[in-house]
């Protein structure tokens, strides 16, 4: 057998459908690796198309362009071989028209070498909609090495699941078991695994367990960057045959790792970052949200953002994240005080503007609201004021923000959090308006932790914004607690109902008050129509609102 193969892992940020940019990035990395004597360079799943291409895969011209791009990249692979993820044509007249494949590029030629076996159809994944599952298992022989190649889900056949109706073993076969029987020297897994706050740990457990079980080194290559709602954190790994991490690439960074030559970075392979007083999950959520905003704008050809600044915590956090992602000069805040707004709400918002360097302006809505009140006086005659008048204020603000967005080309950032989105504590066409929902997958109770992390070096978010009781300020002395349980209690119930998929009865059995649980779940279920009309949500949890959670709008839930 020949000496060890000089390998490298390429962790890159791809744009869905941008074959020119993706190809250029791949070719540049191949040339860089070639100069350093790399013999085999590994890219991630569906690298050429970006992930997820969704129904673009139903367009023959799109698939042909992807395959053509792969063949052009292969022309650069002389003196070096590469594994690149992309679609390939299923030659069989039966079954789905495509495979999700690992292409092997060598000596100027490309061939679809390995096809994905396990096609996920849960949460945000719907791959069986497009791809035919693989049923043949072969080993790549290259430069004296026998290499087992798998694609993402292929190593998740016995995924860890906690407190869920989902099974640990979703599939009836194990691709790694099949391949291990062919006696490979090591395994490669190319992946497009989206970020969630605990996904890096789940991945580590899965990958390390596979390497340890089959006593072989395993090289895991994930992509980074964001495409629409999905954010990819990277975290590619080189795992030893003993199941321990030899090297893990940085989170949320493009990186080329040459096996055996990279210096282990401080904190890279430890469960907690060094010298940090904050949980890793909060740090990663912060990075994920900044990445999500940045890539949503840059990949869409957008530059500037606008948001409403209420003086509250949610809008303050979105403002800081947007300033970091886009540059403060590209973020504009609008303060829209009403007759119910407190003085400190205005001063807190103004302090935030000073701390962050955003541009801003004040547009009072009191007189606009009175004009609505006058116009509706006869229609509403004899009826007491209620939530209708509160919603009018929210819709006035939404209209002003959208007017600014239309006139100046700024994309409106929505500032609603997951707790509010879950129970419908928001106004359609008002504070739910926007082109991107930044915090709708972060619970309110976690926003306080995120705010502390943002303020870790200096005060960006004013202290009073964090400490004051949350309020929509749509009526005198209004507090969120007037309408909702305490956020710590509310979020604990919501987490069990949404992320853990527990029933009403199961949550009550954990010691929660029955009436409170039933009330919260009823609010969640009856507000599905609102979430259906919400902006796309940056996904940072294991179960975000959007296409990863599909609940019918018209249904009788009966507290299931």
pLDDT score of 82 more than 80: yes
Report yes or no on whether pTM surpasses 0.85. yes
Q: How confident is the model at residue 167 (pLDDT cuts 50, 70, 90)?
A: low
How would residue 11 be classed by pLDDT, with cut points 50, 70 and 90? very high
pLDDT digits (tens, 9 = 90+) for 478-530: 777 778 999 999 999 999 999 999 999 999 999 999 999 999 999 999 999 99
Annotated catalytic residue 31? no
pLDDT at position 280, please? 83
DSSP string covering 506-550: HHHHTT--HHHHHHHHHHHHHTHHHHHTSPPB---SSS-SBTTB-
- Supply the pLDDT for residue 3: 52
**Chain segment 403-445, per-residue pLDDT in tens:** 999 999 999 999 999 999 999 999 999 999 999 999 999 999 9
Percentage above 90 pLDDT, the chain: 84
**Domain residue spans in the chain?**
7-264, 282-478
Distances, alpha carbon 545 to alpha carbons 192, 486, 496, in Å: 20, 22, 15
Is there a common fold for 7-264 and 282-478?
A: no
366 labelled catalytic: no
**Which residue is catalytic, options 39, 45, 473, 499?**
45
Verify whether residue 76 is a known catalytic residue. no
Per-residue pLDDT at 483? 82
Q: Write out 11-56 in H/E/C secondary structure.
A: ECECCCCCHHHHHHHHHHHHHHHHHCCCCEEECCCCCCCCCCCHHH
Lowest-pLDDT range of 234-243, 263-272, 296-305, 501-510: 263-272
Catalytic annotation, pick one of 34, 116, 145, 444: 116
Q: What is the CATH number of domain 282-478?
A: 3.40.50.620
Q: Which CATH architecture has domain 7-264?
A: 4-Layer Sandwich (3.60)
Catalytic position from the list 34, 127, 145, 152: 152
Q: In whole angstroms, give the CA distance from residue 221 to residue 236.
A: 5
- In angstroms, the CA 393 to CA 475 distance is 10
pLDDT per residue over 338-392, tens digit each?
A: 988 777 889 999 999 999 999 999 999 999 999 999 999 999 999 999 999 999 9
Which pLDDT value is given to residue 474?
Answer: 66
């Amino acid at each position: 057998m020949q000496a060890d193969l000089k390998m490298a892992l390429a962790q890159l940020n791809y744009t869905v459908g941008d074959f020119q940019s993706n190809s250029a990035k791949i070719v540049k990395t191949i040339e860089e690796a070639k100069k350093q004597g790399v013999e085999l360079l590994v890219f991630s799943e569906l690298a050429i198309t970006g992930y997820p291409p969704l129904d673009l895969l139903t367009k023959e011209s799109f698939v042909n362009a992807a395959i053509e791009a792969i063949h052009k990249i292969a022309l650069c692979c002389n003196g070096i071989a590469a594994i690149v993820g992309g679609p390939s044509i299923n030659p069989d007249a039966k079954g789905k028209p495509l495979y999700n494949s690992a292409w092997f590029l060598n000596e100027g030629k490309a061939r679809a070498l390995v096809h994905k076996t396990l096609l996920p159809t849960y949460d945000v994944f719907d791959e069986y909609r497009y791809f035919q599952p693989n049923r043949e298992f072969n080993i790549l022989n290259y430069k004296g090495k026998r290499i087992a190649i798998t694609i993402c889900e292929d190593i998740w056949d016995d995924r860890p699941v906690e407190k869920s109706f989902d099974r640990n073993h979703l599939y009836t076969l194990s691709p790694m078991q099949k391949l291990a029987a062919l006696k490979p020297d090591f395994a490669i897994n190319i992946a497009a695994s989206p970020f969630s706050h605990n996904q890096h740990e789940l991945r580590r457990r899965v990958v390390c367990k596979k390497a340890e079980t089959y006593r072989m080194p395993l090289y895991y290559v994930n992509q980074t960057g964001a495409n629409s709602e999905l954010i990819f954190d990277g975290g590619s790994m080189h795992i030893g045959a003993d199941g321990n991490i030899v090297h893990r690439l940085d989170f949320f960074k493009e990186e080329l790792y040459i096996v055996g030559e990279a210096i282990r970075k401080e904190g890279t392979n430890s469960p907690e970052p060094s010298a940090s007083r904050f949980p890793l999950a909060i740090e990663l959520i912060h990075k994920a949200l900044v990445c999500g905003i940045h890539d949503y704008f840059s990949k869409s050809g957008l530059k500037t953002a606008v948001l409403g600044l209420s003086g509250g915590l949610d809008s303050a956090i979105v403002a800081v994240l947007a300033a970091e992602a886009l540059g403060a000069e590209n973020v504009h805040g609008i303060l829209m005080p009403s007759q119910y707004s407190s003085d400190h709400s205005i001063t807190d918002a103004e302090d935030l503007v000073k701390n962050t360097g955003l541009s801003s302006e004040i547009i009072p809505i009191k007189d606009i609201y009175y004009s609505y009140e006058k116009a509706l006086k006869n229609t509403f005659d004899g009826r007491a004021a209620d939530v209708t008048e509160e919603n009018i204020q929210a819709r006035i603000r939404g209209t002003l923000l959208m007017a600014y967005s239309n006139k100046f080309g700024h994309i409106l950032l929505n500032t609603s959090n997951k707790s509010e989105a879950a129970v419908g504590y928001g106004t359609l066409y008002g504070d739910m308006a926007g082109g991107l929902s930044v915090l709708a997958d972060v619970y309110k109770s976690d926003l306080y932790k995120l705010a502390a992390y943002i303020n870790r070096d200096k005060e960006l978010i004013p202290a009073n914004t964090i400490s004051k009781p949350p309020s929509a300020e749509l009526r005198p002395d209004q507090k969120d607690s007037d309408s909702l349980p305490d956020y710590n209690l509310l979020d604990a119930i919501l987490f069990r109902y949404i992320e853990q998929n527990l029933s009403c009865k199961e949550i009550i059995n954990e010691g929660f008050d029955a009436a409170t649980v039933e009330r919260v779940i009823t609010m969640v279920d009856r507000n599905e129509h609102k979430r259906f009309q919400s902006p796309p949500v940056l996904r940072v949890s294991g179960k975000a609102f959007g296409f990863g959670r599909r609940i019918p709008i018209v249904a009788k839930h009966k507290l299931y």
